[in-house]
Every structure is written in structure tokens, then in C-alpha cells.
Amino acid sequence: MKSVRPIILVHGGAGPRAMTSPQGDCLRAALQVGYHVLDRGSSALVAVEQTIRVLERSGLFNAGTGAHLQLDGVRRMDASIMEGESLGSGAVASIEGIVHPISAASLVMEETDHVLLVGPMATKFARHFKMERQPFTGKPRRFSYESALQKIEHNRDKHGTVGAVALDRTGTVAAGASTGGIDRMLPGRVGDTPIIGCGVYADNEAGAVSMTGLGEGIIRLAVAKSICDLLERGKTPAMVARLVLQKLVARIKGSAGCLVLTPQGRFTIAHVTPYMAAGWWDGKGEPTVKDRFR
């Protein structure tokens, strides 16, 4: 079988804020980690996990140690990961107190017959495997639903997720994402990130997708799977991303960005938000990182 040139794509969220210099540096470092995993002959799945772990640990993004606190003062996180050969996938939602939710999602895929674990049981699962804990996970506090619902209505623009997609030498694709949700969200709120087919999807017969943006809209259109379905029909990544994101805006005034990668190595980075911190690297030259892709 002919060897495929590996490639890694990464994002640090899409929204109204421009990428900072430290965030750009971190994205470049994450791309270097992910590509070197691929270059050594390891799988796209491992590359995606290791790339996202760099972002989770940094504290610079809305994931891992940098995740938002929910309105009751607690940090709850979501993550998912999927590979395109067997459609293996794993996810966690509302997990607390660990540095790397993406690795917890990977363990769900590798160590169980399940796809998604949630809440305190997801946290206990991670602790069973002695995953590294965060030193600070928030301080519980009381809140009013009346005032909370008003804040949420005026806070639709502030969101973010980190994620990656990769293609390894065997032609297998993988996708993953990790998030702390949106600012001032209700306790227990879960967005698109841990829902396979919404926040992520990977299929060697189509491609790999990692989403970022306002999760409620992404869920309603099952965006990641919708993109993969169009890829499977032979449409290009750029065309598919444009069509689906335009539909997201037209139908429900959604807000999102995406990484899209095919098993042939074609890819696009697209968004309908003012900014999307993202980049890619195929081992040639230096990694490409910027916050606008048009």
C-alpha cells in the first residue's frame, strides 16, 4: 500500500477575539508535537490526542486548565475523540478535576465498550486510571436561575473549544476536541464537543472534522457528520465547509468554525466568526498558524 504524507491541523477556538501571541506560539508547539508523532509512524489517533493535550495543559485556551467555570463556580469539561478506520470513538461530558479530558475520552474508547461517560461517573472513571488532576477546579457557589438566564441571553458570542484532525501514513484519519464550554453557562450544560457527529467525526471513507463555536447550533445540524456525508459524495473540503457553515448561519444564526481533512490529504480551515485561531503542518517549512482563514 502506498504511504500517505501525514498532516496535522489544530484549532484553539473561534469567536470574536483575536489570537494572542502566546496562543499562536502554543498552537505551533502543538502542531510540532502532533506532526512528530505522525512522522515517527504512529497513528492519527495518537497524534490528535497528543496535540490537544498541549493545548489543555497550557491554560491559554478554553479547555483543560484554562476551561471556563460554570455559574455555580465549578469547572466542568467535555471532550471526544474518533478514528476513521473502525469508527472507534470515546467521549466524556461534565468531567471535573483532571488536566486532560481528551485522554479520558481516549480511555473510554480503548478500555470500555461505551462511547460516552458523563458527570461524576466520568470523573471517577478518570481517577480510576490515575489521570493527572488539576490543582484548582473552581469554588462552588450559589447562584440565581433568574439572573443566570438573563446573563446567558446576553452572552452568546463568547465561546471556544480546542481540537485537531490528523492523517497518518496508512491513510487513516482521526479527529478530537476538548472544551470548557461557554462563559457563564448553566451547571450541567453540555455542548457539541462530546457528541459524536456534532463536534467531531472521522471516517476513512469521507474525512475527519473537528468543530468549534456555539455548540447548540452545531448540535441542531449535526454539523461534523453533515460535512463528512458531503465529503463522501466527492465534494471538496472547502466547498463542503462553506455550504454547511452558510446553512448554519441561514437556518439558526449559528456561529462556528471547522477543520476538515480528507484521507487524500486535502483540507480546509473555515469559520463564520470574526476569528478562528488555527493552523496546520505537513512537515514542510514551518507550521502555518493564524486567526483568520478566508
**Is residue 262 annotated as a catalytic residue, yes or no?**
no
CB neighbours of 5 closer than 8 A, spacing ≥ 6? 169, 265, 282, 283
Map residue 218 onto helix, strand or coil: helix
Do the beta carbons of residue 23 and residue 190 sit within 8 Å? no
Q: How far apart are CA 45 and CA 51, in angstroms?
A: 10
- What is the C-alpha to C-alpha distance for residues 180 and 77, in angstroms, rounded to an integer? 5
CB 71 within 8 A of CB 184: yes
Contacts of 261 (CB under 8 A, 6+ apart): 7, 9, 165, 166, 167, 173, 207, 208, 209, 237, 267
Residue among 51, 137, 161, 179 flagged as catalytic: 161
- Residue 221 amino acid letter: L
Q: Strand, coil or helix: what is 192?
A: coil
In angstroms, the CA 147 to CA 152 distance is: 9
Residue 201: left if φ>0, alpha if ψ -120 to 50, beta else—which one? beta
- Look at residues 81, 25, 96 and name the one whose alpha carbon lies nearest to residue 58: 25
- Percentages of the chain per state (helix, strand, coil), in multiples of 5: 35, 25, 40
**253 Rama class: left (phi>0) / alpha (psi -120 to 50) / beta:** left
Q: What's the alpha-carbon Rg for the chain, to the nearest Å?
A: 17
Active site residues: 161
